Amino acid sequence: MTELVRMTAIDKRFPGVHALKSAQFDLVSGEVHALMGENGAGKSTLMKILSGIYQPDGGTVAVEGKSVTVQGPRAAQSLGIGIIHQELALMNDLTVAQNIFIGREPRRSFGRLDEGKLNEDAESIFKAMNVAMDVRAEVRTLSVARQQMVEIAKALSYRSRILIMDEPTAALNDAETNELFAIIRRLKSEGVGVVYISHKMDEIRRISDRVTVMRDGAYVGTVAAADTPISTIISMMVGRDLENTDVDIPDLSAAPLALEVRGLNRGRTIRDVSFTLRRGEILGFAGLMGAGRTEVARAIFGADVRDSGEIIVHGKPCTIRSPKDAVGVGIGYLSEDRKHYGLALGLDVRSNIGMTSLFRFQNRFGVVNDNALAVVAKDYIAKLAIRTPTDRQEVRLLSGGNQQKIVIAKWLLRDCDILFFDEPTRGIDVGAKAEIYRLLQSLAAQGKAIVVISSELPEVLRLSHRIAVMCEGRLTGILPGGAATTQEHIMRLATLRQGALEEATA
């Protein structure tokens, strides 16, 4: 086992931020070294220095024992350092092979391309990875998981001895994650050193050999993955112990129904889904990717057209044809993609909180009463413990957890008492997750009716009073929350396909 990378005393400042404070990291060949820390801990910055995207202000980087300066992405490539970025950096309109060799296309004279060799080379890389891939397919036609494979192939094509993966499984389902792990193991056996950045504790345990934890731009410690309890890693990350509470299920038998859905259908994505939701209840929605959970929420919310189905809100049948109608009866939907659908990132906290309720703060000439809005915004900032210097801070400068709270504040202000949370903690770090959980629980305790759609089973189990499980567009069962239900129970329903279901009900 040779040492591939040693980074010592790395310092990096951005205007107004001391991003890395004497950070350190090392990597040996044939290992998977997980790099962990909350958002903003400096993991990505450290790896961007290693891959030449940023230049450090201080400290040394040594690759295979030699001190180096990584001038740019190209220099990193020639040092055998490949990086797979968190946000996939692919060109959707080009083919797989064209993506892999962008910048180093096999050329003939006069800048002409040798497309045949390009495709052959790409094919041989996938062959070495033992992955079947049509290298002539346009990248936009591939699933996210397949695109991830292209990224890996691209990184490998540089004959990378050092491979950095930043949140590679963020968009992958379990099967796809397994596929990725198989590839990582094979690379490992060939002596490649892998830096693995992730928030998912179970993955870290499964794939990594060592774990280095960072906090606030500084190095905290390195531990062996196999024999360190997760709780230890988490407390290293957050700098304190996290309480690990079991879900406390209230007796809701007397609570009135907030929402009743009957016979919801939409093409092949939603098939005859019916369920109820009481006030004060948290209903979890579990299932594999593509099971139709988000689609159900969107159909109820009026964002997509329903083929059929009744929606009864507080005992009254409603006609919901558009999100406007849904909001009108008090249903709010918090999209999994906050940045695209939930927030105006360039606007300040105040404007975002008030966005859907501006009509309440305007006089009859359409002038917004900013003072009144500020009062309300500050009230929510305090109530939901949103960490922002002022209510005039631009939302894009806040962390994921605080952004999520702003979306929640927006819907609360709009008087929504039925709230659909789609992946409420995606991209939010561990410490902030617990806070979001507490917030959801206290909202429920105040009588809001809450649906939580989540791909992370521990999250579903931790939060839900009842758990609805979907498979291929149908609701395959509703399980009680609490300790009696395990991940295995959920998985059984989540994989209960059409044929099996008919047998079971026959």
**What residue ranges bind other proteins (CB under 8 A)?**
53, 72-74, 76-77, 83, 85, 89-94, 98, 102-105, 107, 110-113, 115, 127, 130-134, 137-138, 140-143, 145-146, 154, 175-176, 178-179, 182-183
- Smallest distance, other proteins to C-beta of residue 89, A: 4
> Of 133 and 162, which has the nearer Cβ to other proteins?
133
Amino acid letter at 392? Answer: R
Q: Which is nearer to other proteins, 83 or 475 (CB)?
A: 83
Cβ neighbours, 10 Å, residue 328: 14
259 strand-pairing partners? 277, 313
Give the type of residue at 157. S
The answer to whether the beta carbons of residues 338 and 403 sit under 8 Å apart is: yes
256: Cβ–Cβ under 8 A, 6 or more apart, which residues? Answer: 278, 279, 314, 315
Closest CA to 490 of 500, 464, 280, 336: 464
Q: What is the 3-state secondary structure (H, E, C) of 202-229?
A: HHHHHHCCEEEEEECCEEEEEEECCCCC
Q: Distance of CA 16 to CAs 47, 219, 239, 397, 473, Å?
A: 20, 20, 23, 12, 48
Minimal distance in Å, beta carbon 46 to other proteins? 17
> In angstroms, what is the minimal distance from the CB of 53 to other proteins?
7
In this complex, which beta carbon is closest to other proteins, that of residue 73 or of residue 80? 73
For other proteins, give the closer residue by CB, 173 or 232: 173
- Cβ 426 to other proteins, closest distance in Å? 21
Cβ count within 10 A of residue 130: 9
Q: Smallest distance, Å, CB 148 to other proteins? A: 10
Residues near 359 by beta carbon (within 8 Å), at least 6 away in sequence: none
Distance, in Å, from the CA atom of 401 to the CA atom of 394, rounded to the nearest integer, reads: 15
Whole-angstrom Cα distance, residue 169 to residue 173?
8
- Residue 74 beta carbon to other proteins: minimum distance, rounded to whole angstroms: 3
Write down the least CB distance from residue 179 to other proteins, Å.
5
Counting every residue written for the chain, the total comes to 506
Residue ranges in 289-399 assigned as alpha helix (H): 293-301, 323-328, 349-354, 370-383
Q: How far is the CB of 47 from other proteins (least distance, A)?
A: 13
Q: CA 374 to CA 369: how far, in whole Å?
A: 9
Q: 């099971």: which residue's tokens? A: 291
Q: Could you give the CA distance from residue 360 to residue 358 in angstroms, rounded to a whole number?
A: 5
CB of 304 to other proteins, least distance (A): 14
Question: Do the beta carbons of residue 11 and residue 5 sit within 8 Å?
Answer: no
Residue 286 CA, chain-centre distance (Å), reads 16
What is the arrangement of strands in the sheet containing 17-28, beginning at the earlier edge strand? 17-28, 3-14, 58-63, 66-68
Closest CA to 469 of 483, 484, 485: 485
Structure tokens at 299: 């159909």
Q: Are 122 and 116 in contact (CB under 8 A)?
A: no
Nearest approach, Cβ of residue 138 and other proteins (Å): 5
CB of 110 to other proteins, least distance (A): 7
User: Quick check: helix, strand or coil at residue 454?
Assistant: coil
Of residues 107 and 321, the one with the C-beta less far from other proteins: 107
Asked if 106 and 114 count as a contact pair (C-beta separation under 8 A), the reply is yes
Min dist CB 54 to other proteins, Å, is 12
In terms of CB distance, is 104 or 396 closer to other proteins?
Answer: 104
Residue placing its CB nearer to other proteins in the complex, 108 or 316: 108
Min separation Cβ 368 and other proteins, Å = 29
d(CA 158, CA 155): 6
CA 436 – CA 434 distance, rounded (Å): 5
